[in-house]
Amino acid sequence: MEKEITIYDIAKQLNISPATVSRALNDHPAINNATKSLIASTAREMGYRINPFASSLRKKRTNTLGVIVPRLNSYFMSTVLAGMEKEANEASYNLIISQSMESFKKEITNARTMFDSRVDGLLVSLAFDTEDLEHFEPFLKRNIPLLFFDRVMSHNQSTSIIIDNVRAGYEVTNHLISQGSQRIMHVTGSLKRNVYADRLKGYQLALTEAGIAYDDSLVKVTDLGMDTGQWVVQQIQEMLLPPDGLFVANDFCAVSCMSALKRAGYSVPQDVAVAGFNNDPLSQVVEPNLTTIHYPGYEMGEIAVKSLISHLNGVSASHATNTIILRSELIVRESSLRLSSK
């Protein structure tokens, strides 16, 4: 194995002090340009590589942020990460990104890896089955800022960035009611997660205000995956009183449900009005186009990184604002317009 070239090797080659080599490579103003140029060219010729890890140990800063997400194969999460990348790049930070694959155990492993990688701060969206935040305690004990986004759990030493999921769930359900739906099925994810529990609360609130009795059999907790649509339609076909509306907690699963409904001979929206969540590009490709909630993922990513870096730069405390709530918007399309379609 070839020996790694160090500043001591460069110093020996040029017969100067290692301190001078170090200052020159770090563009110190005390070193004249001719000496800097000589040292830089010699370093290149000898194959010297800067060791950012060693440098970060001296500075006690790696300029790296860790990000843990449930899944990478999600349009919403890709928009969040794009916003994070943009802000991180502008501030000369790097991102280390990992996915928990919706597993609490994997999330624990990811957190340990991020801690061992000496990230300056950590941004997290929780897995379906995460039970507690104990695995993030090492960060808090070391005053490494921790920020949760989208899927969050409250902690007095961290900030959370969310939308008002109760309001969004209410708006979707209220819209379906306004289009004549009286039996609305809600297909959701793990109710351990705030996003799904809060959308359910909004759904229940809209039913109550409309004088429609809540029916627990119309709430289906699933993994919101591609196969969920077929399962949902099987449930509908077995019901004596099938639903005439369907509120699905993400667009990917909503499109799966629409496809399965059409294969089973149902008409959308005449038989079943359908609405999703997230404003995935799929929502405008499927026919009819899908009613959904615009979720500002890119903005969420930008604000998350800005908040974390502001704390690292001493501008604000990581928990100065415990919760940041972003604005969402109901986007009505043909999949739910039952009245105008008749």
Structural domains of the chain sorted by starting position, each given as residue range(s) with its CATH number in brackets? 7-50 (1.10.260.40), 62-162+296-326 (3.40.50.2300), 165-295+330-341 (3.40.50.2300)
Q: 296 CB contacts (<8 Å, ≥6 apart)?
A: 163, 326, 327, 328
Give the pLDDT confidence of 111-146 residue by residue, as tens digits: 999 999 899 999 999 999 999 999 999 999 988 999
Contact 150, 138 (CB under 8 A): no
DSSP-derived secondary structure letter, 93: -
- What whole-number distance in Å separates Cα of residue 149 and Cα of residue 132? 16
pLDDT band at 321 (very low <50, low <70, confident <90, very high): low
Predicted TM-score of the model (pTM): 0.82
CA distances from 200 to 86, 171, 283, 300 (A): 33, 12, 21, 22
Helix (H, G, I), strand (E, B) or coil at 330: strand
In the block, residue with structure tokens 């897995």? 127
- Alpha carbons 342 and 333: distance in angstroms, whole number: 15
**Residue appearing with tokens 């903005």:** 299
What pLDDT digit, counting tens, does each position of 171-211 carry? 999 999 999 999 999 999 999 999 999 999 999 999 999 99
Contact 297, 80 (CB under 8 A): yes
Q: Tell me whether the omega of the peptide bond preceding residue 269 falls within 30 degrees of 0, making it cis.
A: yes
Token pair of 310 as six digits: 């502001």
* Residue 133, burial from CB neighbour count under 10 angstroms (0-12, 13-18, 19+): buried
